[in-house]
Amino acid sequence: MIKLYTQTSCHSSLAARQWLSAHDIAFEEKNFSTDLPTVTELKHILSLTENGLDDIISKRSKYYSEVAEQLPQMKLNDALKLLSTHPKLLRRPIIVSANKIQIGFNADDIRQFIPRAIRRMKFDVMLNRYALGEI
């Protein structure tokens, strides 16, 4: 099951929600504005990133400047507790499956959440159209 982590009034979160719905991809949404992330959820998100906290922290957040100097010295659990109580520090949306993650909305990258069989079928249709000279 795909989890979509969003925040209220975030245009990228809205775009991700609409894209997943338009492609009939089942997802569970959690809005961090009303339902704070847990440390366990954040650990799972981090486990899928390449660069750890750097991938999920929004440096454009208003609160970031207040904690920027402290973050590099923080223990991981302390940083996760901070993020769970101040979710506006997180980039959004965060889209997670069992082994994939996308942070932020990107119309090309989000296609990774379309099941492989469906992507393969669409690719085969396109190849057939090409072979027939339709494209």
Q: Give the CA distances from residue 86 to residues 30, 99, 104, 130, in Å, rounded to whole numbers and listed in that order.
A: 15, 25, 18, 51
Q: What is the CATH number of domain 2-131?
A: 3.40.30.10
Which residues are known to be catalytic? 10
Nearest to 103 by CA among 41, 54, 40: 54
The full DSSP string for 30-84 is EETTTSPPPHHHHHHHHHT-SSTHHHHB-TTSTTHHHHTTTGGGS-HHHHHHHHH
The 10s digit of each residue's pLDDT in 26-62 is: 999 999 999 999 999 999 999 999 999 999 999 999 8
Q: What's the pTM?
A: 0.83
Query: End-to-end alpha-carbon separation of the chain, Å?
Result: 35
The residue ranges of the chain whose pLDDT is under 70 are: 119
